[in-house]
Each structure stands twice: as C-alpha cells, then as structure tokens.
Amino acid sequence: MNKFPISPIFIPANKLEWISKTFEKGADSIILDLEDSVPENEKIQARENLAIHLKDNTYKGNLIIRVNPISEQVGQDDIAMLSENDLSSIAFMVPKIEESDLITNLPDVDVIALLETPVSIKNISEIASQVKVKGLALGGADLSASLGSTMDWDSLLYARSKIVQEAAINNLFSIDSPFMNIDNLDALKDESIKSKRLGFNGKAAIHPSQIDIIKNSFLPTKEELEEAKDIIRAFNESSSAVLAFKGRMIDLPIILSMEKRLRLVGIDPKNID
C-alpha cells in the first residue's frame, strides 16, 4: 500500500460510482465491502463488476477490498479473481479470520486481518506473524456481539491493546474499529484521540462526515512534523546514542517514534534533507 490508511471509509462494493466521490471528500483510503454491505444474491455479480472496474480505473488513494470470509469458498473466489490485477494500491481485508493457516494458502497479496471474534484475539500472535499480513484491524461490532459487551472504549480495551501490541511486534499498521454514532462527532473525536494515544495508526469511518475528524486526530501538525525532522537530523549528526535536544533527552526509541510520525504522512524519514 502507498502509506498507512488513516481514515479508511467503508462503502459497498456494489456502489462503484461512489469511489471517486468519496476520494473527493478527503478519504485517503476506501474499504470496498463485498461482505456485509452486499446482499447474498448480489455477491458474485458485485465481485465481477469490481474486477472489471479495477482493470479500467486507477486511483491515487488506497483501495482496500473487504472480501467475504476466506473460510468459505466465496471469500477464496473473491481474492482469486480480484488479485489478478496486481495493483500495488490494493490490499485485502479478511474478515472473521481465526486461523493463520487460511492466510498461508492465499495468493501473494497484502492482507489486513480483521479481528472480530474472541478466537481471533486469542490467536492474534499467529495471525499477525504471517508474512502476507500488513495490517490489523478491529471489528468492534462483531466482537462485542460475541462477547456480549457494549462497543464502548473500555469494553474493548483489552482487544485494542492486543492489536496495538502485536502490530508493534510485527511492524504492521493498525486500524481501530469504526465509531457507529455518526451524529455524535464530539464523541468520535474523543475516541479517535484515545485510539491514537493507545498506538493505533488510524480509525475506520462509516460516513464522510467522520473523515476529517479522524484525520485531524491522527495526523501530526506542521509543527510536529518539523520537530520530528529536527530531532532526526540532530540524532543522525551526533555520535552519541543519547543526546539533549532543546531540553529533552533523545535516544533510539524517541527516534523510532519520530520516524513513525513522518511515515503517517508519507515522508521517508531516511530522506528528509
């Protein structure tokens, strides 16, 4: 993928005319949903139409295709057909993934594992370590239904923490679950800030009104970007493993954090001069 998806937004995969309009509204990534948003009797046609569309159209933003569960033939067929284009901007979001062996048997594609069952969280280490997996995402609605919990922040904090931890261990990006109350933008902002502080790289959206709030919550400011560049330059020019920078002690963990800050906006921290 081109860069971390910060505010990927779900749209039905049978609404292809929405793609350009959604990018125009500021989305950096779109999740084309072949699973829950498409009626059972339209799934095959939606997949075929999407395959034709991808051959005829390209987009600057990332496209993520949420396929049907790969434990079922329909999900296997989704990836088999839609991976033929070999487009670098496309990743496949695999829902309800519980067994890492299912990922091993997929074609050579980029996978975002959608963790939305208790078994998914239990097996997260094995899933996250698969070489095809590039990102982890929380499916809060299905997980809370399985647990019998609410979707509140505290109710799913354990799952969120496990996802952030495994993403860090395996050098993956992480996407927090969508916030379902599209009318409560203040609460969305609050939860987005909590997600960023916990360590998530982005948060999924379900309505265009959520995109800017999520991006503004996750993306560093201009001042924060300049600070990151200055700290990295000072560290690179120093022969010491630890240095003082404007009254702040800087060591390798801080540098890694600054590098991650730059990558969020597509800046290569190794090439900032």
Is 98 within 8 Å of 143 (Cβ atoms)?
A: no
Mean pLDDT of the chain: 92
pLDDT at 215 exceeding the cut of 90? yes
Q: Average of pLDDT values for 62-80?
A: 94
Task: Give the model confidence (pLDDT) of 171-195 as tens digits.
Answer: 899 999 999 999 999 999 999 999 9
Could you give the strand order of the β-sheet that contains 111-115, starting from the edge strand earlier in sequence?
A: 9-12, 29-33, 62-66, 90-94, 111-115, 133-138, 173-176, 202-203
**Residue ranges per structural domain of the chain:** 9-218, 222-263
Tokens linked to 106: 């997929």
Is 92 within 8 Å of 110 (Cβ atoms)?
A: yes
Percent of the chain residues past pLDDT 90, beyond the cut:
77
pLDDT at 249 exceeding the cut of 70? yes
- What's the pLDDT score for residue 89? 67
- What's the pLDDT score for residue 1? 56
- What's the pLDDT score for residue 3? 66
The amino acid at residue 251 is D
Task: Quote the CA–CA distance of 167 and 18 in Å, as a whole number.
Answer: 31
Beta strands in the chain (DSSP E): 9-12, 29-33, 62-66, 90-94, 111-115, 133-138, 173-176, 202-203, 243-245, 248-250
- What's the pLDDT score for residue 61? 84
Name which of 37-46, 79-88, 159-168 the model is least confident about: 79-88
For residue 227, what are the CA distances in angstroms to 144, 187, 201, 260? 39, 29, 19, 13
Task: Quote the CA–CA distance of 10 and 210 in Å, as a whole number.
Answer: 11
Task: Give the model confidence (pLDDT) of 131-181 as tens digits.
Answer: 999 999 999 999 999 999 999 999 999 999 999 999 999 989 999 999 999
Residue 86 DSSP one-character state: -
- Cite the DSSP H helix spans in 85-203: 100-104, 118-122, 124-128, 140-147, 157-169, 185-198
Structure-model confidence comparison of residues 113 and 261, the more confident one: 113
- What's the pLDDT score for residue 2? 53
Q: Average of pLDDT values for 238-259?
A: 89
Superfamily of domain 9-218: Phosphoenolpyruvate-binding domains (3.20.20.60)
Q: Average of pLDDT values for 49-53?
A: 93
